[in-house]
Amino acid sequence: MSGTDMDVPSMVRAPLPSPVPAEEYEQCPVTDVLRRVGDKWSVLVIVLLGKRSYRFNELHRGIETISQRMLTRTLRGLAADGLVHREVFPTVPPSVEYSLTPLGRTLLVPLSALADWVVQHRAEIAAARQSRS
Amino acid sequence: MSGTDMDVPSMVRAPLPSPVPAEEYEQCPVTDVLRRVGDKWSVLVIVLLGKRSYRFNELHRGIETISQRMLTRTLRGLAADGLVHREVFPTVPPSVEYSLTPLGRTLLVPLSALADWVVQHRAEIAAARQSRS
DNA sequence: CGGTATCCCGAACGATACTG
DNA sequence: CAGTATCGTTCGGGATACCG
């Protein structure tokens, strides 16, 4: 629970005299995670799974514009990062349930803070984009 | 401000019976902003500009691995969204100064919360990725 | 100094068809 | 039901060269 004084460890150090070195950047972990969460569907899936667990086709119907392929890839990616739990029930027909892991659930907190920021400032952003058209 | 109960307005409404409709998704504003912030350089630039204002080549040297093209595109994108202020001083040779707008500075808060989350949980993510290799 | 313009590559994404 | 396979397109991003 730090706060507004952003201090990414050993990524940005001092005002000027320390450039961000290639060896240390090389994939900044923050950027790295932001790129995962910044993909087209992950946030949506995480938010939905924040409500309860879902089965594959439930999510598919729940999002509606996502392709089966992208839903699979998104879920697999989130599962690979330990954010989503995938449980297969060997029934016929098979059924798979997706839910947030405890780790995934903790992510929901800062994510919702960011979402709140967007909601509160989307008008300003939209206005800025307009005036720059 | 709000908290863990993520409720993106008219994006996700109820647990099951309301799919996210194409007309309402159509680019979810949260995803939209996350994709901007999730690009390869924006966070880094925002964090740097959070410390003080920079001139173009200062940022270029400060990041070191970014190409001139991507730095320009990143700054223009952030400026178009009203997050960064671009001020041109008509000197010879010309000089351009970049700084965060008040709006951009408010973004620093939730962004740092997310960054903190990553810092605190990057080991777990790394471990999850390992065990899934 | 602070950019543009051009070319190119690989990854992300989408549509469609098929399957255990 | 819950995927995989294949294909084609779009887009982010890097390299290089040039410009006011």
pLDDT in tens, A26-85: 678 888 888 998 899 999 999 999 999 999 999 999 998 999 999 999 999 999 999 999
Residue A2's CB: how many other CB atoms inside 10 A?
12
Q: Would residue B5 count as lying in a domain?
A: no
Nearest CA in chain B to A14: B51
Among A7-11, A38-42, A124-128, B86-90, the least confident range: A7-11
B71-116 pLDDT per residue, tens: 999 999 999 999 999 999 999 999 999 999 999 999 999 999 999 9
8 A C-beta contact, residue B39 and residue A7: no
DSSP 8-state symbol, B81: T
Task: Return d(Cα A25, Cα A29) in angstroms, integer.
Answer: 9
Protein-proximal nucleotides of chain D (any atom < 7 Å from a CB): 1-6, 12-17, 20
> In terms of residue numbers, what domain contains A92?
11-132
Q: Would residue B79 count as lying in a domain?
A: yes
Which pair of structure tokens corresponds to residue A4? Answer: 């507004």
Q: Would residue B4 count as lying in a domain?
A: no
Q: Which of B19, B28, B117 is nearest to A105 (CA)?
A: B117
Q: Is the pLDDT of residue A5 over 60?
A: no
Q: How far is the CA of A41 from the C1' of C15 (A)?
A: 17
Q: Is the pLDDT of residue B6 over 70?
A: no
The count of CB pairs under 8 A between chains A and B is 217
Nearest nucleotide from residue B54 CA, by C1' atom: C2
Nearest CA in chain A to B85: A128
> What is the reported pLDDT for A133?
67
Among B19-28, B36-45, B53-62, B76-85, the least confident range: B19-28
Q: Would residue A18 count as lying in a domain?
A: yes
Q: Is the pLDDT of residue B15 over 70?
A: no
Q: Which of B26, B34, B33, B28 is nearest to A65 (CA)?
A: B26
Q: Which of B4, B32, B79 sits opposite A109 (nearest CB)?
A: B4
CATH number at residue A62: 1.10.10.10
Q: Would residue A6 count as lying in a domain?
A: no
Q: Would residue B92 count as lying in a domain?
A: yes
Test B12 with A47 for CB contact under 8 angstroms: yes
What is the number of structural domains in chain B? 1
**Which 3-state string (H, E, C) describes B81-132?**
CCCEEEEEECCCCCEEEEEECHHHHHHHHHHHHHHHHHHHHHHHHHHHHHHC
Kind and range of the H or E element at B100? strand B95-100
Q: Would residue B44 count as lying in a domain?
A: yes
> What is the reported pLDDT for B62?
92
| Residues of chain B with C-beta less than 8 angstroms from the C-beta of A30 | 43, 114-115, 118-119
Q: Is the pLDDT of residue A8 over 50?
A: no
